[in-house]
Structure 1
Amino acid sequence: MVATDQVARTILTYIPYILVLIDLRYEGVKCDGGSLDNHMEMGKKLLAAGQLADALSHFHAAVDGDPKNYAAYYRRATVFLAMGRSKAALPDLSKVIELKPDFTSARLQRGNLLLKHGRLDEAESDFKKVLKSNPNDKEEKEAHCQLTKSDELQRLVAQARSSFIRQEYSAAASLLDGIVETCVWDVTSREMRAECSIQMGEMGKAIGDLKAASKMKNDNTQAFYKLSTIYYNLGDHEMSLTEVRECLKLDPDHKQCFSHYKQVKKLNKQIRSAEELIREQSYEEAVSKYEAVMKTEPNVQLFSSLAKERICHALARGQQASRAISVCAEVLQADPENVNVLKDRAEAYVQDEQYEEAIKDYETAAKHSQNDRQLKEGLERAQRLLKQSQKKDYYKILGVKRTANKKEILKAYRKLAQQWHPDNFQDPEEKKAAENKFIDIARAKEVLTDPEMRTKFDHGEDPMDPESQQHHGFHRGFHGFQGFNPFGSGPFNFKFNFN
């Protein structure tokens, strides 16, 4: 009993190996007639059901099972065409014609494919052979029609090449439009039309044709190189890098692509680094990095414009108003409707207290970007600050910049408070003037050393103005603004602590 169990276990252990050997034994055996018919029948059913990948598998098996079965090649070609793989269908149709030269449907189908690929002489030969092979009426009519079309296309190709050689790019492009409309997979015509588009400055059309050409022709390094240079000259460093990498995947030693790759990679790295510095609020370093961009690529105007635009932005964000205004103005001279630069210069004008100029920039930008909430808020702020500047400016009272920190504000306050303290004056009128001046100084210090009040003031509201606060719904309970008195109540006794 034990011996029987051991035998059983041994057999079970080796069953998988036995099965593998059986599979290997039959793997090299051709399909017999029944198996071939099954593959053909299943392939046809799956093709009719639209299950193209499964149908293709069966027709692959049928071709492998009988390499001389023209019907299997023809069915597989049909699936390739249904999948949009015309290049794969052509060899199968050629094999069908080799095995069965009188198969007019296959020859007519190959002729049509050759026509779409722009192989006009070969297509013409197929159409002529169809007409000589006693076709049915439908095939004869189609062959005549396609032969006429082939002759017309050959004439157009000759004219297009002649116009191209004479550098008559518009005329050549027009002729090529008619050719490509029929010869949709003709790489040569697409590449020629792309070159016409480049010469006419129509880069979008050139990109479309070159992208198609890069897919239709294997190892088309030149198409990828041209795409990369077009994107580069359009200022799109990211796409330029993507396309030149595709070129180098096909040929790592391609001299043009490798040289261009080094340039694009360096520029791309600098721009990405500069943008990261802006996000980190390292504005001065970002400016330096974009200045390096202009040195790396001084010949492509779009990169210089991009660098100056971003320098304008970084300077405005970095509170360097005067430099920002100058750089932004340079960009706007070439591109007066650039909304981002108008916004940045407006912000710099606000920092420089040139509120009327800021309002003009915001209003100009709003004409080209009507639903920009940031623009609307900026304009309203500039208008409030202009109105405020015509009244009382606490920064000017203390003689400090808008960027002053609390330590600088207190230092200015102490100096002025000592200078204008009413105890320093004996004449009644001078004392009264000093009191008013001192109150303004104290108010300025109160507002600018309180973060909440300073923020309100920087946005155009006066925390010490009851009318303004009533309008904005802002209330505080520390003194009552209208009667603010740094000396307290009762007769003045100016014993003042300046700490």
Structure 2
Amino acid sequence: MFSNMIGFGRFIQSLCVCLLTFDIQLFGLSAGANPEVEQHLEMGKKLLAAGQLADALSHYHAAVEGDPDNYMTYFKRATVYLALGKSRSALPDLEKVVKLRPDFTAARIQRGSVLLKQGKYQDAREDFATVLRNNPNSEEAAMYIHKIDELPDSISLAYRLYEENNYQDAIEVLGQIVEVCPWDPSFHEIRSECYEAQGDLFKAASDLRQSTKLRADNTKGYYKLSKLHYEMGEADESLNQIRECLKLDPDHKQCFPHYKKVKKLVKLMTSAQELTNEENYDECIKKAEQMEKTESEVFHYVLKAASHKCKCYSRGGHFVQAIKQCTKILEMDPDNLEALIDRAEAHIINENYDEAINDYQTASNIDGENRRIKEGLNKANKLLKQSKKRDYYKILGVKRNASKKQILKAYRKLAVKWHPDKFTDEEKAAAQKKFIDIAAAKEVLTDPEKRRQFDQGEDPLDPEEQNRGGGNPFQHGFNPFGSGGSFKFHFN
């Protein structure tokens, strides 16, 4: 940015030197001029030197109104217009200069340069030829004529290559043409079509954006630009561009229906994200389903809707649907990290530990430094190892996401069923072992910290894990029979 400011400053400096030179050359001609006009010209020059182009332009406007027959005031204003990038405004002033002073070489070269950049190369050639007739030694005019004489063949070649579907060669030739005629929208438009045919929508949009700036009332350009951004998955920018079309024609037959569709889709995507952030997962799923109905073909939006459903199903406890949606995403986008992680977490809830480990390992190959992946993989490995030992969820017959209320209900039911007092002496030992497991499961799963440990793959009642030096499985005080075996279970 700093270098751009330096370049702009140098441009303004050279512009001031150029205008100052003309002031000196024409000092004798300005004697006796309108003092008010002279004041505006002086202020314009000072503001120009300070880089305040818009303010300088206002003074040149006043100077032109005060002395409409002074070709220099037109020339200065045209130069400021060009500095502001307003070539269409500069051209009438340059034409006025040439009309008032046909032998003014600088104005002819300036006008020829503008016409050439706009693609009006035959008109530009006439200006440069006139300069050469008056000044055969003008290297600048000769250089421009050489460029112009090469243009017709290059343009014909570019269009022929385009018609032959030789898009890459056409792009290269058009690049050379655009360097000479950067303000001609037609060359940007045909190059945009070449890029689009190659599948490079970003470059196609870049050229088309230039066309919308260069061609007035370009509803067709704005519509196509909006469609390109839509195809790239940039719905917000697509909405911005289609609004530009509607500013020019509120009832445009193509722009208006496209605007309604994009606006609805943007609203749905925003709502789905907000609902996810608010942990309102069921409503998030509904918005994602509406997204699918609104747009069922464009890859980016189909993927976006599936991503919302994958995440919201997973976090909302609908793990079977989560796995299905996450799998759908990974079929479209195999390296989608979020889908891999969400599916792995759903697999863990469904106790599919091998599948969870596979997903985490695939995700780790893509981003090995991701903390969520590292922690998830470690957890899945611990749970796989743990699943081969005592599983408290299976003992009580509840899901891993069961509430405390559900856990207690399952415990009471099983405790009644397996209480040792209900069994004969021959069966009592087996029932007592089963009852101890049920009581252990209840102890772990109703204690938030112990349950957290278990969910991370550690058994808080496993003496090998909790006390490597030795210990007993009832050290946390939940032994239902106590040290003397006098446990009493009270039936409600």
Q: What's the TM-score once normalised by structure 2's chain length?
A: 0.87
Distance 1:110 1:287, change over 3 A: same
Return the alpha-carbon distance in structure 1 between the equivalents of residues 451 and 101 of structure 2.
Answer: 92
Distance 1:327 1:45, change over 3 A: closer
Give the Å deviation of 1:99: 0.9
Distance 1:150 1:311, change over 3 A: same
Contact 2:443-2:478 within 8 A present in 1 as well: no
**Residue in structure 2 matched with residue 375 of structure 1 by the alignment:** 373
Return the alpha-carbon distance in structure 2 between the equivalents of residues 124 and 163 of structure 1.
Answer: 26
Return the alpha-carbon distance in structure 2 between the equivalents of residues 164 and 218 of structure 1.
Answer: 25
**Residue in structure 1 matched with residue 6 of structure 2 by the alignment:** none
3-state SS of paired residue (2:182): coil
Give the Å deviation of 1:325: 1.4
Return the alpha-carbon distance in structure 2 between the equivalents of residues 250 and 233 of structure 1.
Answer: 23
Bigger mean CA offset, 353-362 vs 319-328: 319-328
3-state SS of paired residue (1:108): helix
**Residue in structure 2 matched with residue 454 of structure 1 by the alignment:** 451
Distance 1:99 1:354, change over 3 A: same
Give the Å deviation of 1:497: 2.0
**Residue in structure 2 matched with residue 128 of structure 1 by the alignment:** 129
Query: 1:434 aligned to 2:431?
Result: yes
Give the Å deviation of 1:466: 4.2
Question: For each residue in 1:50-109, what CA deviation from the matched residue of structure 2 results, as whole angstroms up to 9, or x when unmatched?
Answer: 332332232222111101110111111122222333222222111111111110110011
**Residue in structure 2 matched with residue 486 of structure 1 by the alignment:** 480
Give the Å deviation of 1:136: 6.7
Contact 2:398-2:407 within 8 A present in 1 as well: yes
Question: For each residue in 1:391-436, what CA deviation from the matched residue of structure 2 results, as whole angstroms up to 9, or x when unmatched?
Answer: 21111111111122222211211122122222223335x3233222
What is the 5 A alignment of 1:61-460? Answer: 61-132=62-133, 134-135=134-135, 137=137, 140-427=138-425, 430-460=427-457
Distance 1:447 1:36, change over 3 A: same
**Residue in structure 1 matched with residue 488 of structure 2 by the alignment:** 495
Question: What RMSD over aligned residues (CA atoms) do the two structures have, in Å?
Answer: 2.2
Give the Å deviation of 1:270: 2.6
Return the alpha-carbon distance in structure 2 between the equivalents of residues 408 and 253 of structure 1.
Answer: 59
Give the Å deviation of 1:49: 3.8
Return the alpha-carbon distance in structure 2 between the equivalents of residues 241 and 97 of structure 1.
Answer: 44
- Rg larger for: 1
Return the alpha-carbon distance in structure 2 between the equivalents of residues 83 and 313 of structure 1.
Answer: 50
Return the alpha-carbon distance in structure 1 between the equivalents of residues 35 and 212 of structure 2.
Answer: 43
Return the alpha-carbon distance in structure 2 between the equivalents of residues 114 and 208 of structure 1.
Answer: 23
Give the Å deviation of 1:467: 4.2
Return the alpha-carbon distance in structure 2 between the equivalents of residues 444 and 254 of structure 1.
Answer: 68
Question: For each residue in 1:284-338, what CA deviation from the matched residue of structure 2 results, as whole angstroms up to 9, or x when unmatched?
Answer: 3322332232222223233222222221222111222222212222221232111
**Residue in structure 2 matched with residue 51 of structure 1 by the alignment:** 52
Structure 1 unaligned segments of length 5 or more: list them: 1-30, 472-478
Bigger mean CA offset, 406-415 vs 287-296: 287-296
Contact 2:121-2:148 within 8 A present in 1 as well: yes
Aligned residues: 457
Return the alpha-carbon distance in structure 2 between the equivalents of residues 178 and 470 of structure 1.
Answer: 77
Return the alpha-carbon distance in structure 2 between the equivalents of residues 432 and 34 of structure 1.
Answer: 119
Contact 1:120-1:154 within 8 A present in 2 as well: no
3-state SS of paired residue (1:255): coil
Distance 1:285 1:42, change over 3 A: closer
Return the alpha-carbon distance in structure 1 between the equivalents of residues 416 and 43 of structure 2.
Answer: 103
Question: Percent identity over the alignment?
Answer: 54
Give the Å deviation of 1:498: 4.8
Distance 1:395 1:183, change over 3 A: same
Return the alpha-carbon distance in structure 1 between the equivalents of residues 467 and 44 of structure 2.
Answer: 83
Structure 2 unaligned segments of length 5 or more: list them: 1-31, 469-473
Contact 1:422-1:494 within 8 A present in 2 as well: no
Bigger mean CA offset, 166-175 vs 152-161: 166-175
Contact 1:43-1:58 within 8 A present in 2 as well: yes
Contact 1:127-1:146 within 8 A present in 2 as well: yes
Give the Å deviation of 1:113: 1.4
- Look up the equivalent residue of 1:495 and give its one-letter code: K
